[in-house]
Amino acid sequence: MDGLLSGRAIVDEVEVVEKRLSDYREIIGQAAHAEILALASKLKGKRVAHVNATPYGGGVAELLHSVVPLLRDVGLDAHWFVLSGPKTFFEITKTLHNGLQGAAISLTPEMIATYRHVNETNAAGFQDDYDFVVVHDPQPAPFVDLCERKARWIWRCHLDLTVPDPSAIGLLSPYISAYDASIFSADAYVPSGVFVRKAFIAPPAIDPLSPKNRSVAEEERHSVLSRSGFDPGRPVISQVGRFDPWKDPLGVIDAYRIVKKEFPSVQLLLIGSMARDDPEGWLWFERAARHAGEDPDVHLLTDLRGVGALEVNVLQRETDVALAKSLREGFGLIVSESLWKRVPVVGGNATGIAMQIRDGRDGYLVSTVEEAAARTVELLRDEKRRKAMGKSGRERVHTHFLITRYLRDYLRLFQQLAA
pLDDT score at 8: 44
CA–CA separation, 30 and 404 (whole Å): 12
The pTM (predicted TM-score) of the whole model is: 0.92
Ramachandran angles phi, psi of 229, nearest 5° = 90, 0
pLDDT band at 280 (very low <50, low <70, confident <90, very high): confident
Q: Domain 2-205+402-418 carries which CATH code?
A: 3.40.50.2000
Q: How many residues make up the chain in this entry?
A: 419
In this prediction, residue 7 carries a pLDDT of 39
* CB 89 within 8 Å of CB 115: yes
How far is CA 213 from each of CA 198, 314, 330, 355, 398, rounded to the nearest angstrom? 33, 9, 20, 20, 12
- Span 96-117, pLDDT tens digits: 999 999 999 999 999 999 999 9
Apex 179 CA angle, 327 and 177, nearest 5: 70
User: Residue 281 has what pLDDT?
Assistant: 77
- Concatenating the DSSP letter of every residue in 118-184 gives HHHHHHTT----SSEEEEESSTTTTHHHHS---SEEEEE--S--SS--HHHHHHHHHHHHHSSEEEE
pLDDT digits (tens, 9 = 90+) for 220-247: 999 999 998 999 999 999 999 888 888 9
Q: What Rg value do the Cα atoms of the chain yield, rounded?
A: 21
CA 104 to centroid of chain Cα atoms: 23
Q: 271: part of which helix (H) or strand (E)?
A: strand 267-272
**CA gap 157, 330 in Å, rounded:** 9
Q: What is the DSSP string of 235-262?
A: -EEEEES-S-GGG-HHHHHHHHHHHHHH
Band (pLDDT 50/70/90 cuts) for residue 306 is: confident
The pLDDT of residue 10: 66
Res. 1: pLDDT tops 70: no
Classify residue 359 by its DSSP letter: B
Q: How far apart are CA 244 and CA 306, in angstroms?
A: 20
- The CATH code of domain 218-400 reads 3.40.50.2000
- Rounded Cα distance between 223 and 385, Å, is 30
14-38 residue pLDDT tens: 999 999 999 999 999 999 999 999 9
Q: What does the pLDDT read at residue 11? A: 80
Percent of the chain's residues with pLDDT above 90: 87
User: Are 50 and 137 within 8 A, CB to CB?
Assistant: no
Contact assessment for residue 166 and residue 80, using Cβ atoms and an 8 Å cutoff: no
Query: What are the residue boundaries of the structural domains of the chain, listed by start?
Result: 2-205+402-418, 218-400
- pLDDT beyond 70 at 4: no
Q: Alpha carbon of 405 to those of 25, 33, 70, 252, 357: distances in Å?
A: 12, 10, 12, 32, 18
Residues 184, 196: Cα–Cα separation, whole Å = 11
**Confidence band of 277 (pLDDT split at 50, 70, 90):** low
User: What is the reported pLDDT for 354?
Assistant: 96
State residue 2's pLDDT score: 37
Region 399-405 average pLDDT:
98
Mean pLDDT, rounded, for 43-48: 98
pLDDT greater at residue 12 or residue 115: 115
Residue 272 reports pLDDT greater than 90: no
Largest Cα–Cα distance of the chain, in whole Å? 62
User: What is the rounded average pLDDT of the residues 308-318?
Assistant: 96
Q: How confident is the model at residue 276 (pLDDT cuts 50, 70, 90)?
A: low
- Residue 275 has a pLDDT of 62
Mean pLDDT of 375-397: 98
- Computed over every residue of the chain, the mean pLDDT equals 94
CA–CA dist 31, 33 (Å, integer):
5
Residues 81 and 126: beta-carbon distance below 8 Å? yes
Does residue 6 register a pLDDT over 50? Answer: no
For residue 305, is pLDDT > 70? yes
Q: How, if at all, do strands 77-82 and 12-13 pair?
A: antiparallel
> In this predicted model, what pLDDT tens digit does every residue of 128-186 receive, in sequence order?
899 999 999 999 999 999 998 899 999 999 999 999 999 999 999 999 999 999 999 99
Q: Is 50 helix (H, G, I), strand (E, B) or coil?
A: strand
Q: What is the pLDDT of residues 181-194, one digit of tens each?
A: 999 999 999 999 99
**Alpha-helix runs per DSSP H in 242-368:** 249-262, 281-292, 309-317, 333-340, 351-354
